[in-house]
Amino acid sequence: MWYIAVFAFYLLFIVWTCLKSLKNVESMSDFTTGGHRMGLFIGVGTSVATWVSVASVMGVPGYLYSSGVAAIIGWVAGWFFGTALIPIVAYKVRRPESPAKTFPKTLVTGTTRKILFHKSFMRV
């Protein structure tokens, strides 16, 4: 029965947080990008909550264990490559003069497209 009380408390906390944050949102840009006011703690927490899921906590260790060292090296290399792209994407999203609201919008124009889709970069 205690779990109902915990769930009710959590639900009330979420509703209270949403109602409190409604005062700070004035436009769709404020909603989608946090009004460009996120600090380091909230930004890192959001990224970690996005990347860490049940699949990465339960499924990935099982996959790496069953596939061996090559899978571990590939998995870590993929994380480093993805992390290396964050500054490029973050610059486009955080620009105050014309901020991108979605990741696909960052790929449409600008330096990110030139870097990612340049013929010498994509050469195999």
Give the 3-state secondary structure of residue 101.
coil
Q: Angle at which helices 69-94 and 60-67 pack, to 10 degrees?
A: 140
Parent domain of 9: 1-36
On whether residue 6 sits in a domain, the answer given is: yes
Confidence category of residue 1, pLDDT binned at 50, 70, 90: confident
Per the rule left: phi > 0, alpha: psi between -120 and 50, beta: everything else, 100 is beta
On whether residue 27 sits in a domain, the answer given is: yes
The total domain count for the chain is 1
Confidence category of residue 93, pLDDT binned at 50, 70, 90: low
- What's this model's pTM, rounded to 2 decimal places? 0.42
On whether residue 41 sits in a domain, the answer given is: no
- Alpha-carbon distance 46 to 40, whole Å? 10
What confidence score (pLDDT) does residue 124 get? 44
pLDDT in tens, 16-74: 988 887 787 787 767 766 777 777 788 778 877 877 777 777 788 888 888 888 888 88
What confidence score (pLDDT) does residue 38 get? 75
